Structure 1
Amino acid sequence: MTAHSEKTVMHALTIRLQDEIFALEATSVREILDPVPITRVPNAPEFVGGLINVRGTVVPLADLRVVFGMERPPTDQDTRIVVVEFDLDGDLMVAGILADKVHEVTEIDAGSMETVPAVGMRWPPAFIRSIGKRDDGFIIIPDMQRIFRNEGGLDAAAA
């Protein structure tokens, strides 16, 4: 096994948001939680409108469905919170991501990942890193840094 062959696969946790499958890099996932009480933040953007307590640490709770223009049904028995950490402009960002359902950790072949077409997309292409193909469907790989920089209000150029 060569180092080159390991780079051709992305290990990802697949989650469902509405009827779409999204993939979060498995190395960024800290834990998966059942729904917990959410403290709403007045005047916060809808995308990160609440905070949760994760083992004594205050963590923003993000709803990617807001970013992708999806409906936001109430939580049910499948709803989970995926706690992720990633680099955001040199700082470690820890956030909870609401998921309608968590599926599995899987491998996505880098050869099956494609850039996002500029037209014909129902999601904002700027927030998608790539789209992977698996079986007969697609897996959307969001660009977490860009989403949090823009939707989280960290990008001064954001409207």
Structure 2
Amino acid sequence: MADQNAELQFVTFGLGQEVFALPVGVVREILDHEEAFKIPHGPNFLLGLRDVRGQGVPIIDLRLKLGMDASVRTQNTRILVLDIPLDERVLSLGLVADRVFEVVAFRAEQLDKAPDIGARWKSNYIAGVVRRDGGFVVILDLPQLFSEPTGISEATPFALSNVA
């Protein structure tokens, strides 16, 4: 059983008015936003490819993947380049964030499960929720979000392994 006092490090970022977090260990780097090379017939959330240090990295509009409105580029828009462990491989991709805030530590005891809304809904992509500054931070479970259709968006399921 995990130590409830253990501190876990996360990168926090915003999508609209909402705050999300990812474990520091999956974040390779944070880049300024640049237009991606478009890939024909990709799902709506796949913006295209971007060259990151000699590697073609798929760029994902996380807002669309989560069923939100599409990202609108501003001076604060960033790309979080991630290395996500999936089974026997590592998936490298970039996520568009409206803004990146900070690296923060949360204690394991602060993490609550996804809320129960009294009905079935796909919440397995939520690793936890933390109360902070009068609001909430949603910690994403990226392997869940990208290994199977989430049921959030009606977009056609897409295997990112076909992109890289």
TM range (shorter): 0.7 to 0.9
* SS of equivalent to 1:74: coil
Q: Which runs of structure 2 are paired with 1:77-92 in the superposition (5 Å)? A: 77-92=75-90
> Normalised by the size of structure 1, how large is the TM-score?
0.85
Secondary structure at the counterpart of residue 46 of structure 1: coil
Superposition CA RMSD, Å: 2.3
Q: Which whole-Å CA distance do the structure 2 matches of 1:33 and 1:83 have between them?
A: 7
- Among 68, 71, 91, which residue is 2:69 paired with? 71
Deviations 1:51-101 (A, max 9, x none): 111011100111211122111242010000010112112201111010000
Say how many residue pairs are matched: 151
Task: Mark the CA change 1:146 to 1:54 in structure 2 (over 3 Å): closer, same or farther.
Answer: same
Kindly report which structure 2 residues correspond to 1:47-66, keeping only aligned pairs within 5 A, or say none. Answer: 47-66=45-64
Shift of 1:120: 6.8
Query: Which 5+ residue runs of structure 1 have no aligned equivalent?
Result: none
Q: After superposition, give the CA deviation of every residue in 1:15-58 in whole Å (9 maximum; x if it has no partner).
A: 00111000011111111100123011111112224111101110
CA change 1:89–1:153 in 2 (3 A) is: farther
TM-score by length of 2: 0.83
Counterpart selection for 1:18 from 16, 19, 30: 16
CA distance in 1, matches of 2:48, 2:97: 15
Q: State the partner residue of 1:42.
A: 40
- Cα distance, 1:129 vs structure 2: 1.4
Q: How many percent of aligned residue pairs carry the same amino acid?
A: 35
**Does the CA contact (< 8 Å) of 2:85 and 2:91 recur in 1?**
yes
**Alignment match, 2:152:** none
Provide the residue aligned with 2:97 in structure 1.
99
Gaps of 5+ in 2: 150-156
